[in-house]
Amino acid sequence: MRSIIGRALGAALMLGASAFAARAQVPADFPNKPLKLITLTTAGGTLDILARMIADDIGKQWGQQVIVENRVGAGGNIGAEATARSAPDGYTIGMVTVSSHGINTTLYGERMRYDAVKDFAPIILAAETKNVIVVHPSLPVKTVPELIAYAKANPDKISFGSAGTGTTQHLSGEMVKMMTGVKMQHVPYRGAAAAVPDLLSGQTQLMFVTIPDVISHIQAGTLRPIGITSKERSRSLPDVVPMAEQGWPDFDVRGWFGVVAPAGTPKAIVDKYNATIKAMLARSDTQAKMLAMGLDSLSSTPEEFAGFIKSEVEKWAPVVKASGAKVE
């Protein structure tokens, strides 16, 4: 009897192992139809361009068209939710950002219709864009300490624009206010494209803004950069000193872009995406294109990206609460 049970148990274990091995392998015919990459912004922006670079490369490597779908609105939540609600079969993936998978969990609160941690299978942390602090040339400051001194001597006389309430640009300014005690007026706009013209005209005096949005104005001398909000220098603006080197060693704010699949997507397919995108991001031609846009290429395993998303949600919760930012 024991030998019969033993043989039965052994057979069951072998069957289970075979089933696990099958699940751990990418189906031989995958992909056998077009794929879809959902991105969160309108066509032509930095995230959209990066998404199309990724889609084009996957299409070339895998021999199937990758259709880019722009799902815009609610700070990236609409597109992220569309990804989360897609079938977990590997045929739909999505771009995500620090907003959709960091800030918005607290900013939107009960209005969030997805869980940034539980509803996705992270694939790769692909890129980051550092915020640069730029001022109108009329503001008599060339460093962040000079800005703080001027702001303290002129409370509420500096207005800083942002791409909108709850963005990293807005919260960078709020963090400066919290850490230094200065008083500045926040002016939210519907995107950086609407905010930059008012900074150029002098209607606002300051912005914490992603590098791609102002790099041409910095190069033309119409805006003055006085600091970078991340701890490391930007490869796009290597001579601009980070706030961490100007007296605030713990100040570290950056925008980031990643790729995810819906939760439940087979790990073998997630790993296939990871390997393909990672190889693309490592190529010199890709890095040159990204650098020209003000992006620094990154890389991660799916597991590392999962941990990163969780840490970003935790990091931004107290900052959003302290800022009083709300979505009406």
| Cα–Cα distance, 83 to 94 (Å, whole number) | 6
For 250, left (φ over 0), alpha (ψ -120 to 50), or beta? alpha
Assess whether pLDDT exceeds 70 at residue 3.
Answer: no
Convert the pLDDT of each residue in 243-275 to its tens digit: 999 999 988 888 899 999 999 999 999 999 999
Convert the pLDDT of each residue in 26-55 to its tens digit: 888 899 999 999 999 888 888 999 999 999
Convert the pLDDT of each residue in 199-245 to its tens digit: 999 999 999 998 888 989 999 999 999 999 988 888 888 999 999 99
Convert the pLDDT of each residue in 145-162 to its tens digit: 999 999 999 999 999 998
Name all domains of the chain by residue range, CATH numbers in brackets. 35-129+255-323 (3.40.190.150), 130-245 (3.40.190.10)
The average pLDDT across 96-117 equals 94
Question: Does residue 221 contact residue 192 with C-beta atoms inside 8 Å?
Answer: no
Mean residue pLDDT across the chain: 90
Predicted TM-score (pTM) of this structure:
0.82
Question: Does residue 211 contact residue 219 with C-beta atoms inside 8 Å?
Answer: no
Confidence of residue 163 (pLDDT cuts 50, 70, 90): confident
